[in-house]
Chain A
Amino acid sequence: MMNIIEVSELTKYYPASEHPALDRVSFTVLPGSFTTILGRSGSGKTTLFRCLNLLLRPTTGIIRIWEQDWLSLEAHELCEARRQMATIFQQFNLINRLSVIENVLAGQLSNIPFWRVLVRRFPPMYEDWALHCLERVGLQDLADRPAGQLSGGQQQRVAIARALAQRSRIILADEPVASLDTESSHIVLDELRSISVTDGITILCSLHQEDLALQYGDHIIGLREGRVAVAVPREEFTAEHRMQIYQTPDETTPHSQ
């Protein structure tokens, strides 16, 4: 099968840092798969995601998405390209003052005329679609509540609904459950898992808990100090792999971030 994401030799140096945040990272992702990126904080997970959705320019390397060269896009093509991916964040990043459904509608913000953005009114069919997306995550009853009033787990599910509303085929989830309790974490990851299975959406989800990564991911990519330490299907993950990801680094090697 054709790969949906191909990353090869991706390296990112931040200015004034001699250690790369990403060091020759290469991996591929199959369409419709659920890949978890596992690694301690500072291992380069967020940097990788920011490179993938073009918020950060890698120093060297190649990213191909839909067989399209992702890094040679012109400035005016960036927004269009980013729309092919939805992002979910650790801190949810909803617009707290707007209602839940208005937050979900934001997934379609690029597809309505500008005057509608100004008056914050979407055509009715967009609202129907947004409600449908909310139903998918089971929050249709909270549609008119201000997003800021919801619990963390609920806010993250609204963020998933927003990602669904965007109709992109790829969802990048950067530590989506790091601010949530265990129960909410499972609800949120179950939700992601289910949209991956039923809609065939490709999910790239970073986590720092190994048990969650093994429970939900089809594939595990382990990052350590900016390098791919492990890249295996879930069934092949072993204690040795765990060591390669989590083993305390030698005290003489400074941290990369």
Chain B
Amino acid sequence: MLMDQSSPFPSNLRRYTRPVRRGPFGISQRTWRWLVAFSVFCLLLAAARLTQVDVGRLVQNTPKIGLWVSRIFPPYDGFRNPPNGEELIGYIRNALITVSIASVGTAVASVLALIPSVLAARTLTPSNAVFYPIRWFLNTLRGIDSFIFAIFFVAAVGLGPFAGVLGVIFHTWGSMAKLYAENLENMEMAPMLALEASGVSRTRALIYALLPDALPSFISTTLFVWELNVRLSVALGVVGAGGIGQDVKNAIDLLNFPHLGVLLLIILITVTIIDQVSTRLRQALRA
């Protein structure tokens, strides 16, 4: 076969032209991709403007940030003492309150989510007239963060962890029902339909045939949301809804860095333990 000096391939090959794929407005897809990337970049630039991102200010204040960090860890800065035993016990107690807020909130929400999740599952809903209102309701709950709910409930039922629990319940109710509904939509429907075909009512068939299948994924979802809620509940203390967040806010307000350091450590340990427990339990469920 003839070989061209400059090419390692045979010279008599048929010419291949890559087809140009066209997107909207007759602009090629390649160009579109670049246009989209450029627009996203421009939008982000505008967003950075809006949020007053200022690298200079960050660089200028780096020493201050460094100083703060150095005063937080180790939690002894020379003129303020780290928390004593009594204070430490108080902090741990408040960490437990934070975990409790998340746990009670998640538990109540998971029960409240059960029935709406069935009505909001496309495969199970009795009709669109039920499906859409329920979805809107759940989306509203989900759209409002537990933090915002907590501000509202602090005003309504007063300061303290109960307001936090209510905040978690309402936000989680929406998220959990939506996640449950997605689990239900992925379930094998045939066993349930088989029972319905032999005259079992839909409710009974659902409880007997679908629920045993759905339960492991429901529990897994609940654990995942619980873990998330523990992390989010730390912030609830900032608005006076109880738990260790209150102590964090106080320590920052008083520039009490040694205490802040200890508090952050307690939060880190708590969150790590909860993450581990949740992950292990979910692994056990899958097995």
- Using a CB–CB distance below 8 Å, which chain A residues touch chain B? 53, 55, 78-87, 89, 91, 93-98, 106-107, 109-110, 114, 117-118, 120, 163, 166, 168
What band does the interface of chain B fall in when counting residues whose beta carbon is under 8 Å from A?
10 to 19
A164 and B205 alpha carbons, distance in the complex (Å): 18
A109 with B208: in contact, given A79-B199, A80-B199, A96-B213 (CB under 8 Å)?
yes
Q: Please tell me if the beta carbons of B195 and A106 are within 8 angstroms of each other in the complex.
A: yes
- 12 example contacts (A-B, Cβ-Cβ < 8 A) are as follows A53-B198, A82-B199, A84-B199, A86-B198, A87-B194, A89-B190, A93-B194, A95-B208, A106-B208, A109-B204, A110-B199, A117-B204
A117 with B207: in contact, given A96-B213, A97-B213 (CB under 8 Å)?
yes
- Using a CB–CB distance below 8 Å, which chain B residues touch chain A? 190-191, 193-201, 204-205, 207-209, 212-213
A112 CB, min distance to chain B CBs, angstroms: 9
A106 with B212: in contact, given A89-B190, A94-B191 (CB under 8 Å)?
no
Question: Chain A contacts of B204 at CB under 8 A?
Answer: 109-110, 114, 117
B15 CB, min distance to chain A CBs, angstroms: 42
Q: Please tell me if the beta carbons of B212 and A95 are within 8 angstroms of each other in the complex.
A: yes
A171 CB, min distance to chain B CBs, angstroms: 10
Question: Chain B contacts of A163 at CB under 8 A?
Answer: 198
A98 with B195: in contact, given A89-B190, A91-B190 (CB under 8 Å)?
no
Question: Chain B contacts of A110 at CB under 8 A?
Answer: 199-201, 204
Q: What residue of chain A has the Cβ atom nearest to residue B189's Cβ?
A: A93
Q: Please tell me if the beta carbons of A106 and B199 are within 8 angstroms of each other in the complex.
A: no
Question: Chain A contacts of B196 at CB under 8 A?
Answer: 55, 82
Q: What residue of chain B has the Cβ atom nearest to residue A174's Cβ?
A: B197
Question: Chain B contacts of A89 at CB under 8 A?
Answer: 190, 194
Q: Please tell me if the beta carbons of A87 and B190 are within 8 angstroms of each other in the complex.
A: no
A163 CB, min distance to chain B CBs, angstroms: 8
Question: Chain A contacts of B191 at CB under 8 A?
Answer: 93-96
